[in-house]
Structure 1
Amino acid sequence: MDSGRLRPAGSDHLIPLLAEHLQGVGRGGKMNSEVRVRNKRRTIWLLSLLVLGMFGFGFALVPLYDVLCQITGIQSVSLRSAGEIANPASEQEDSRLITIKFDTSVHPNLPWDFSPVERTLQVHPGKLYQVDFAARNRSSEPVTGQAIPSVAPWQATAFLNKLECFCFNQQTLAGRQSVDMPLRFMISPELPQEIRSLTLSYSLMKLENAPTEPNKREKG
């Protein structure tokens, strides 16, 4: 039997590498120094590539969020104008009542109080309503926040038509400022009959390095 067939797979590549390693050892400290410099440069290059990748991923988060909203039905701030008014000319349905609940949450790093003036409202599809949300900046400095909306069940998202909403824009409150922020909305009569109630939630998050022009709307 040919002994060459008994050699481990890949030995044709390993033997030259081993020989090169032995030659490097034989050359002593000079070769080791060159290897260290080469490895250090390779490490710096890989770290730079990683930083660039993370930077690019940060920019991709916004469009990825929009794609997620489209898939799951979550109301995206950037998609608010798409399908906002399912049928603005629809007639009011007086015989049908929908219970809508309002829920709010505030990120821990945002020093605001934020809550709906009314937590529950019964509405007729096709009729325009307004609900105010009370916000107060507890700190002594201007702070900017952004409200992120979501609807449950998600199937009702396309049928909740917002004509005016504080979530459309960033909101800046001066130190100790209190405001009422309005939401004007309408439930489309095309809302499926099996949906009799829905919850509109807002998560308020702090925006760093945002413009600090205070909200001119004062608390009523």
Structure 2
Amino acid sequence: MSASPNDLDPTLRSDNLRMVGKLVVIAALMFGFGYALVPMYRAICNALGINVLSVAERKVPGNAPKAQNTQVDTSRIVTIEFDANVRGPWEFKSEKRSIDVHPGEMATVMYEFKNVQNRAMAAQAIPSYAPRRAMAHFNKLECFCFNEYLLQPGESKQWPVVFIVDPKLPRDVRTITLSYTFFEVGGKTPPEPNL
């Protein structure tokens, strides 16, 4: 036979009520601590100077320190020369003959291509480097040489080459020549129109 709540020993009942009261107080304290944690965290960080960067940025708008790439070797300059060769009746050239870069610095150069034929053509560029040992230190991030292209008659395109010269490039290498040969890809070219 089960006992009803009224049949419990009065001391047991008072102990249970005290325990429930303590648990309610503990739950309220935990909620209050969680609610106060964010302002306390901000106050402690400001007092200890842990959050200095964001505080400085808020105090002087527009005058935040600019991030610098520490991987750029500003102690030397490498000249990059650009050469463009074609195998066929079309036009292909770089927008600049050469540029000077610091090793580790990202640079972009545009190349222009024009199909001067009266037919569509599929083409691709193949790069080469001089001196040959510079190839391992010339990192292309974006290059038209990664893909084949279909160009319509008279169509012109501009493509970027985005690159970084590795700071580990030997110090005696002061000039790198990047040469592209643009050629027609066989088997994918539409036939010439009959005139």
TM-score (norm 1): 0.53
User: 1:149–1:200: 8 Å Cα contact kept in structure 2?
Assistant: yes
Q: Which entry has the higher C-alpha Rg, 1 or 2?
A: 2
Show the 5 A alignment for 1:174-213. 174-210=152-188
Alignment RMSD: 1.5
**Which residue in the other structure is 1:105 paired with?**
85
1:146 paired residue among 117, 124, 136: 124
1:121 offset after TM fit, Å?
A: 0.5
Q: Please report how far the alpha carbon of residue 201 of structure 1 lies from its aligned counterpart in structure 2 after TM superposition.
A: 0.4
Deviation of the 1:187 alpha carbon:
0.2
Q: Give the aligned partner of residue 93 of structure 1.
A: 73
- The 3-state SS of whatever aligns with 1:185 is strand
SS at match of 1:155: helix
Residue 135 of structure 2 aligns to a residue whose secondary structure is helix
- Taking the TM superposition and a 5 Å limit, the aligned residue runs for 1:23-172 are 91-107=71-87, 110-172=88-150
CA distance in 2, matches of 1:188, 1:153: 15
Contact 2:72 2:167 in 1 (8 A): yes
Alpha-carbon distance, 1:202 to partner: 0.6
- Give CA-to-partner distance per residue, 1:101-129, whole Å, 9 cap, x none: 0001111xx22100000011101111111
Structure 2 spans left out of the alignment, 5+ residues: 1-68, 191-195
Rounded Cα–Cα distance in structure 1 between residues aligned with 2:106 and 2:165? 8
- What does the per-residue CA deviation read over 1:12-50, in whole Å, with 9 as the maximum and x for residues that have no partner? xxxxxxxxxxxxxxxxxxxxxxxxxxxxxxxxxxxxxxx
Residue type of the partner of 1:195? V
The percent of aligned pairs where both chains have the same amino acid is 39
- The CA deviation at 1:90 is 6.8
The 3-state SS of whatever aligns with 1:161 is strand
1:209: Cα distance to partner?
A: 2.2
